[in-house]
A = this chain, B = another copy of it.
């Protein structure tokens, strides 16, 4: 694998002259994200991606080792984003109740803001190559555990109802987060923030002692 295949889009070399020209790797990622989200990974051909990005197949394979790699990059982008945000909320100096509420609401807003990524995530994960899947799952587990620790802390300190196993509580909340990409429409009645507040409320109410 040639060098550029590792961190596509990392460099800042843009086409001279065209001030706002978006670099090829980014164009490819954007096209792939939209298409994967619209019609699914398997139903999107490499040909369609490169046409949408305005490049040739050779260019795609210059930057990405495989179609699978594109999917992996999309995952990585979302995972890093969400992990960073969760860490920030979890590390805050606040009562656990507030930390959990904010983290729970934030992941909803972030998911809605990146609804294409999210839809791809929940729908196409099993289409990743086994080894990449393993890697993604491992990162996902870290995220889950961080979230679970918040629940656990609240239960231990008596702030939350301890009747439900904390792992199950996390899956409960993330079920509703995953589900967002199935029903949320940007033109619907509720803003992302409103949805987030409602879902966080439901979670916190469910955890009241």
Task: Give, as a whole number of angstroms, the nearest-CB distance from A21 to chain B.
Answer: 22
Query: What residues on B are CB-neighbors of A174 within 8 Å?
Result: 179
A22 at interface by CB-CB < 8 Å? no
Interface string of A164-190 (1 = CB under 8 A from B): 110011011011111110110000001
A198/B164 in contact, CB under 8 A? yes
**How often does this chain occur in the complex, in copies?**
4
A2/B42 in contact, CB under 8 A? no
Highest count of chain B CB atoms <10 Å: which of A39, A164, A203: A164
Interface string of A140-168 (1 = CB under 8 A from B): 00000000000000000000010111001
A74 at interface by CB-CB < 8 Å? no
A residues whose Cβ falls under 8 Å from a Cβ of B: 2, 39-40, 42-43, 47, 123, 126-127, 161, 163-165, 168-169, 171-172, 174-180, 182-183, 190, 195, 198-199, 201-203, 205-208
List 14 A–B pairs whose Cβ atoms lie within 8 Å, in order of A's numbering.
A39-B126, A42-B42, A42-B127, A43-B127, A123-B126, A163-B198, A165-B198, A168-B198, A169-B202, A172-B202, A175-B179, A178-B178, A178-B179, A208-B208
